[in-house]
């Protein structure tokens, strides 16, 4: 009997494991993950929470090297992490290991924020996303402005805000920036930005978002390759000028000073695809380049204010500008303005391209003429969505079938007079959805009219507001059965009441 030594036994097991791997393709006790390429392992680590990725450094020197060369550092997934720890992590990286993305949120002093900026720029940062709160106003560091590696910069200051350097400094910076988002900038000492967002300062900027610009009164944006522009919560704005031959999307919300005169807007964007004008105060002058058929989607919501009749030319200018859109959304104030007798004396543009329309309205009796005016302008409308907002009970009457049978209501009589003016509208309309349906007289009258004369109608959906409904479940079932029995011009229409 031959006695096997320990070394011979180890060699035999090694050969056996090697043969097993060759035959089955499965290794035994071999760490294949660590032998994957760095790029793939970096991708795996980047998909993990940052603390989990950091813990991988304790596995081996191989994983330690991967952690200290990880290109994407997203600290937003880590709760209560100090900026000092982030700075220490950046300083521990090899000099040649560039950072592609850095994202974090923290409260810190300006000196520590400035140090973190310098460290990130030293590692050739490409995407920088910061949400910070400082103990005082701070100036945007020049090292960020002059960086030639930075492509995406997102800075949101919680309190109290930050200032931009003088124009002489800004004009020579951000030469490589593609996307810029700034929130809570302070302009009390320099309320005008008319010479910053130009080809000289931002030659390759494609996306720009400005939010909560305190003290900003005049803004001019003329970046040659800008495609996406967003402006929000700039309540002191008085003058707004945008020129962008490649602009695809503009969103302006909660802007402009409603308590001053000589406010104005000028927009030239011939290739615009999307325009959202949301809850902005009406300006005295609006000069918007008439968009071509490239305008696909537009929405208009107005900020309620006194003496709106003095701003009717501005409303007409806005409606004329968005009239080429294929998809259009108007809020309840727009519908109210169009419903007023004063507006009928002014020009309401044809909406010949609109095939999808969304209206928010209280749908009272006095809104009927305005809705008819809008419907008449939409000669090729395919889909109509009406969102009924809660405007109280003023002008809203309950509908009862017994009253309906005795005599036609004023609402029904009005809609019957619109058969001929709305002929094209009724011939093209296919889908209707009414949200917030409460079985009021004005709502039922419109529903009956669309069913009775919509010859192309394919689907009509009534979505009720159950939590605010005034009728009992039994009464609602009775109303539902009565509505389902309304006469229909189209034999293909499907009526849903839910």
Per-residue pLDDT tens for 135-167? 888 888 888 988 999 999 999 988 778 888 877
Chain segment 236-266, per-residue pLDDT in tens: 999 999 999 999 999 999 999 888 888 999 9
Chain segment 443-477, per-residue pLDDT in tens: 999 999 999 999 999 999 999 876 555 556 777 78
Statement: residue 404 has pLDDT above 50: no
Number of H helices, E strands in the chain: 17, 23
- The residue written with tokens 């923290």 in the block is 106
Mean pLDDT over 67-78 rounds to 89
The DSSP call for residue 445 is H
Q: Which residue from 211, 197, 215, 201 is spatially nearest to 252, judged by alpha carbons?
A: 211
Note the pLDDT of residue 383. 97
- Residue 131 forms part of a structural domain: no
- Residue 295 forms part of a structural domain: no
Model confidence at 402, pLDDT cuts 50, 70, 90, reads: very low
CA–CA distance from 37 to each of 32, 49, 216 (Å)? 11, 21, 50
- Residue 445 forms part of a structural domain: yes
- The residue written with tokens 């325009």 in the block is 275
- The residue written with tokens 């009589």 in the block is 413
Chain segment 10-44, per-residue pLDDT in tens: 555 454 444 434 444 444 556 778 888 888 988 98
Q: What's the token pair of residue 209? A: 């978002």
Q: Tell me the three state secondary structure of residue 150.
A: coil
Q: Tell me the three state secondary structure of residue 89.
A: helix
- Residue 340 forms part of a structural domain: yes
What string of H, E and C letters represents the secondary structure of 243-280?
ECCCCCEEEEECCCCCCCCCCEEEEECCCCCEEEEEEE
Q: How many domains does the chain have?
A: 1
Note the pLDDT of residue 5. 65
Q: What pTM was estimated for this model as a whole?
A: 0.84
Torsion of CA 335, 338, 339, 343, to 10 degrees: 160
CA–CA distance from 381 to each of 97, 164, 274, 325, 427 (Å)? 57, 47, 19, 12, 9
The H or E element spanning position 130 is: strand 127-133
- Residue 291 forms part of a structural domain: no
- Residue 258 forms part of a structural domain: no
- Residue 363 forms part of a structural domain: yes
- Residue 115 forms part of a structural domain: no
CA–CA distance from 114 to each of 197, 421, 470 (Å)? 24, 66, 60
Q: Provide the domain limits for residue 438.
A: 327-390+404-497
Model confidence at 59, pLDDT cuts 50, 70, 90, reads: confident
């Amino acid at each position: 009997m031959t006695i096997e030594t320990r070394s011979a036994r180890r060699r035999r097991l090694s050969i056996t494991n090697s043969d097993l791997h060759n035959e089955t393709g499965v290794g035994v006790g071999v760490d294949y993950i660590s032998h994957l390429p760095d790029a793939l392992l970096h991708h795996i680590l980047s998909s993990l929470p940052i603390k989990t990725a950091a813990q991988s450094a304790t596995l081996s020197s191989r994983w330690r090297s991967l952690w200290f060369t990880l290109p994407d550092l997203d600290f937003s997934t880590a709760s209560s992490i100090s900026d000092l720890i982030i700075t220490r992590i950046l300083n521990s990286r090899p000099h040649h290991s560039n950072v592609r993305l850095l994202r974090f949120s923290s409260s810190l002093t300006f000196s520590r924020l400035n140090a973190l900026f310098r460290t990130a720029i030293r590692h050739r940062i490409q995407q920088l996303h910061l949400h910070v709160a400082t103990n005082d106003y701070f100036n945007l560091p020049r090292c960020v402005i002059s960086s030639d590696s930075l492509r995406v910069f997102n800075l949101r200051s919680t309190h109290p805000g930050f200032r931009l350097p003088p124009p002489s400094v800004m004009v020579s910076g951000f030469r490589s920036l593609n996307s810029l988002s700034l929130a809570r900038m302070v302009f009390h000492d320099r309320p005008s930005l008319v010479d910053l967002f130009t080809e000289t300062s931002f030659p390759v900027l494609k996306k720009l978002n400005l939010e909560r610009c305190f003290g900003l009164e005049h803004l001019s944006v003329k970046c040659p390759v800008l495609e996406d522009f967003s402006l929000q919560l700039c309540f002191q704005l008085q003058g707004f000028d945008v020129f962008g031959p490649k602009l695809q999307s503009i969103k302006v919300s909660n802007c402009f000073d409603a308590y001053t005169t000589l406010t104005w807007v000028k927009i030239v964007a011939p290739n615009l695809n999307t325009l959202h004008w949301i809850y902005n105060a009406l300006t005295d002058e609006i000069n918007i380049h008439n968009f071509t058929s490239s305008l696909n989607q537009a929405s208009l919501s107005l900020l309620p204010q006194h003496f709106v009749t003095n701003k009717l030319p501005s409303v007409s200018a806005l409606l004329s500008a968005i009239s080429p859109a294929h998809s259009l959304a108007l809020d309840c104030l727009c519908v109210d303005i169009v419903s007023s007798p004063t507006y009928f004396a002014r020009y309401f543009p044809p909406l010949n391209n609109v095939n999808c329309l969304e209206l928010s309205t209280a749908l009272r009796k006095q809104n009927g003429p305005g809705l008819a005016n809008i419907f008449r302008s939409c000669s090729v409308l395919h889909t109509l969505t009406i969102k009924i907002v809660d405007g109280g009970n003023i002008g809203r009457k309950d509908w009862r079938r017994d009253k309906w049978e005795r005599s036609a209501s004023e609402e029904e009589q009005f809609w019957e007079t619109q058969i001929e003016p709305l002929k094209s509208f009724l011939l093209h309309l296919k889908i209707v959805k009414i949200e917030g349906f409460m079985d009021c007289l004005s709502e039922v009258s419109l529903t009956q009219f669309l069913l009775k004369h919509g010859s192309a109608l394919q689907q009509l959906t009534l979505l009720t507001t159950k939590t605010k409904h005034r009728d009992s479940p039994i009464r609602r079932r009775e109303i539902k059965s009565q509505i389902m029995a309304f006469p229909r011009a189209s034999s293909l229409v499907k009526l849903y009441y839910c």
